Homo-oligomer: A and B are copies of this chain.
Amino acid sequence: MKINFNAEKEFDIIAIGRACIDLNAVEYNRPMEETMTFSKYVGGSPANIAIGSSKLGLKAGFIGKISDDQHGRFIEKYMSDVGIDTSNFVVDKEGHKTGLAFTEIKSPEECSILMYRQDVADLYLAPSEVDEAYINKSKVLLVSGTALSKSPSREAILKAVNLAKKNDVKVIFELDYRPYSWESLEETAVYYSLVAEQADIVIGTRDEYDAMENSEIEGKNENTVNYLFKHSPELIVIKHGVEGSFAYTKSGEVFRGLAYKTNVLKTFGAGDSYASAFLCALITGKDIETALKYGSASASIVVSKHSSSEAMPTVEEIEQLIAKNETISIA
C-alpha cells in the first residue's frame, strides 16, 4: 500500500508547533553539574522534523511563535538557512521566552533533559495566526502532540487540523508526549484521541499510544489500531525502541522495521529523525517497508551524534546505512 499525497501542492510538509533552543553539554559523560560549557542548537520536535525533512530534500515550511529576542532570531535564521520557509513564524510581542532544553549525557544509557518551558513563546501561537491559505499549499501538515498541551497553542493546532482536512492536506500526528507539559494524563488522552481520530497518519512509541489511551499499563497494538481505524487514520506507526517499529494500514497490512546497529552517544533526537526520514520516504513515493528502513536508519545516525537538529542526515547517509544492512535482532 502507498499513501497518496496531493501532488499539486507546493510544499511537501508544513510543520506546526515549537521551535526552541537545545543547550547541549560540551563536556559530557558526566553529570551536568560538572559541565561548564554548553553548545546552542535549534531544537523542538516539529522544528527538528522540518529541519530533517529539508536536509532530505523536501520543501518544508513552518508555523510557530518565537520570542522577540536573540534566541528567537537565531531560530528563524537557522531554519531559514537550512532551506525552510519561515514566512509563517510569528514574533511574540508579550515578552514570552524561547523554550530551553539543557541536555545531560552521563552515559549513552543515562541521558536526561533539564527543561525551561514556563510560559514559552511557542505555546502562545494563537488560532488567528494560523493561515488557511498557507496550510492549503502543503501535501502534509505535521502536528506534534506537545503543542496541544496549553491554550492558545492548543486551539491553534485544532484549527490547523480542521483547515488541513478541509483542504485535502494530509494530517500527520507525531504523538511527542512529554508528561511535564500536561496537567494530567486524562487531559492528554482527551486531546490525543481528538487529533489522532482526525489524522491520516499517526506516529508514536508504544508509551505514547498508552498516554493517548489514558492507560497506565502497556496496551496492545491490536486494540490501538482497531480503535483508530474506525476513524480517519489510514496508516499507524507504533515504535518499540530497539525491538523496531510496526506500521499498520487500514487495509490490514502490517510491516515491521528493525533498528540499525550504531554507536550510541545519546538518545535525544531519535524520534524526530525517524519521523522526518519516514515521512520523506512516503512523500517521495517509496513503499511503507522502505519508509520504515529510512526512519530506523535516520534515527540510528542521529543518536550517534551530539545534536538533534544539526545532526540530521542526508538521503545518501541513510541509504548507505540501509545498504550495510546491520540490523539489531531481538530474540
Question: What are the 9 closest A-B residue pairs judged by CB atoms, nearest first?
Answer: A32-B70, A118-B118, A155-B190, A33-B74, A127-B186, A33-B70, A33-B73, A158-B190, A38-B38
Interface string of A17-52 (1 = CB under 8 A from B): 000000100100001110111111000000000000
**Nearest CB of chain B from residue A115's CB, rounded to whole Å:** 8
Q: Is the CB of B104 within 8 A of A116?
A: no
Interface string of A127-154 (1 = CB under 8 A from B): 1100000000000000000000001100
Q: Is the CB of B70 within 8 A of A97?
A: no
Give the docked Cα–Cα distance between A180 and B152 (Å): 17
Residues of B within 8 A of A31 (CB): 70
Oligomer: number of copies: 4
Residues of B within 8 A of A193 (CB): 162
Residues of B within 8 A of A73 (CB): 33
**Nearest CB of chain B from residue A229's CB, rounded to whole Å:** 15
Give the docked Cα–Cα distance between A31 and B102 (Å): 21
Task: Sort chain A's interface into a size bin.
Answer: 35 or more
User: Is A286 located at the chain interface by the 8 A CB criterion?
Assistant: no
Residues of B within 8 A of A159 (CB): 186, 190
Residues of B within 8 A of A114 (CB): 69-71, 97
Residues of B within 8 A of A102 (CB): 70-71
Residues of B within 8 A of A23 (CB): 23, 38
A127, closest chain B residue (CB): B186
A120, closest chain B residue (CB): B118
Q: Is the CB of B151 within 8 A of A187?
A: yes
- 14 more contacts with CB within 8 A, not counting A32-B74, A128-B186, A155-B187, are A33-B74, A36-B39, A70-B104, A70-B114, A71-B114, A97-B114, A116-B116, A118-B118, A126-B184, A127-B186, A127-B190, A151-B151, A152-B183, A159-B190
**Nearest CB of chain B from residue A99's CB, rounded to whole Å:** 10
Give the docked Cα–Cα distance between A32 and B23 (Å): 14
User: Is A100 located at the chain interface by the 8 A CB criterion?
Assistant: yes
Give the docked Cα–Cα distance between A116 and B126 (Å): 23
Q: Is the CB of A151 within 8 A of B183?
A: yes
**Nearest CB of chain B from residue A198's CB, rounded to whole Å:** 10
Give the docked Cα–Cα distance between A152 and B40 (Å): 34
User: Is A317 located at the chain interface by the 8 A CB criterion?
Assistant: no
**Nearest CB of chain B from residue A187's CB, rounded to whole Å:** 5
Give the docked Cα–Cα distance between A193 and B194 (Å): 13
Q: Is the CB of A40 within 8 A of B40?
A: no
Interface string of A171-212 (1 = CB under 8 A from B): 000000000000110110111011000000000000000000
